[in-house]
Amino acid sequence: VLYNLVTNNVSVVEGETAIISCRVKNNDDSVIQLLNPNRQTIYFRDVRPLKDSRFQLVNFSDNELLVSLSNVSLSDEGRYVCQLYTDPPQEAYADITVLVPPGNPILESREEIVSEGNETEITCTAMGSKPASTIKWMKGDQPLQGEATVEELYDRMFTVTSRLRLTVSKEDDGVAVICIIDHPAVKDFQAQKYLEVQYKPEVQIVVEFPEGLTREGENLELTCKAKGKPHPHQINWLKVDDDFPSHAVITGSDLFIENLNKSYNGTYRCVASNLVGEAYDDYILYVYDVLTTTPPPTTTTINAFQGTVSHLSCRVLTPSHPFLHFSSDGAPQKIDHAVIGGIVAVVVFAMLCLLIVLGRYFARHKGTYFTHEAKGADDAADADTAIINAEGGHNNSDDKKEYYI
């Protein structure tokens, strides 16, 4: 019966154990035996004629012969035969393939330290594997493509070398380049190297003081922050297209200028350098006028007594300079209508002061006087009688008041 005898091909790593299986679907009590590639009988039923103790019986029945081969070597590779004694005899073939893992990957670079913008070359070698290994590259989490060469050795053994060329930047400093070996005999087999990239300085000027606008009479303090690889060995301050202020103080990376005035306006530059190159950052200084504020008007209460003279004075405090606005190039410009508005405010305030003075003047000249008229004097027969009636009725008369202003 065709295909009544079944077996399987086996791949095994050198030094490990292979399992060879001979299975019969429908057995009519026929004998099963296993032969090696040289057609020598390894097992006849459950008996082992071959004196190689690495072969051991795992299971035997009418339908199966299961044999293990330990410590497999390259010499064990080949075609094994399962044979069933029928008429005619039946055979099935199991190919054993021995896998040899590569040695530890060897990672080498053309130079240990690379300057930014330059190209470097890294090689990765997987030696003595069967079959040939496949090499993949990663830079961080980015896959890269290398150029591989394969060298065949003995007994179908191979050595594979892959070369990776890449141009580096300062962002690559400290990034891992990983060589990954892909082979059926091993998993997660890799080697890595961290890039060491030198780059020119990065420069930044930081204003330590003042926090807002720079104004006349104030101090200015700048700090030049520079980093690079290697660390910048020199930091210089200069004023672009002009002489540096004579009393400016430079301490290391700090620049200090006191008592600012408009003659100091200009561009101040910090230059940092190392073995790779130099870089700079600019600070544009513009000194503004002294900041002044207009105090709010105050009201003074004056206590004056009747019959005294009070003197009032009015003063208007105005800013020492008109308000400013800035043009597109950052320079201040005067606004004429601001001056007009200031004059109007002065006139209005002076009129208010005049009204206050007039009010207090009329208040001082207000007074009272009394007149007395005797009741019954109009009915007297003569003047003497009227006088007498007036004197007698003085106490009962009503006071009449008249006011004038």
Which domains can be identified in the chain, with CATH numbers?
5-99 (2.60.40.10), 103-199 (2.60.40.10), 200-285 (2.60.40.10)
Q: What is the pLDDT of residue 72?
A: 97
Q: What is the pLDDT of residue 249?
A: 95
Tens of pLDDT, residues 336-358: 566 677 788 888 888 888 888 88
Q: Residue 345: its pLDDT value, please? A: 85
pLDDT for residue 65? 95
User: Length of the chain, please?
Assistant: 405
Distance CA 1, CA 88 (A): 9
pLDDT score of 3? 58
pLDDT computed for residue 181 by the predictor? 96
User: Could you tell me which residues are beta bridge partners of residue 61?
Assistant: 64
pLDDT at 291: 80
Q: Specify the pLDDT at position 88.
A: 85
pLDDT of amino acid 314: 39
Q: Which residue stretches of the chain have pLDDT < 50?
A: 1-2, 298-335, 368-374, 391-405
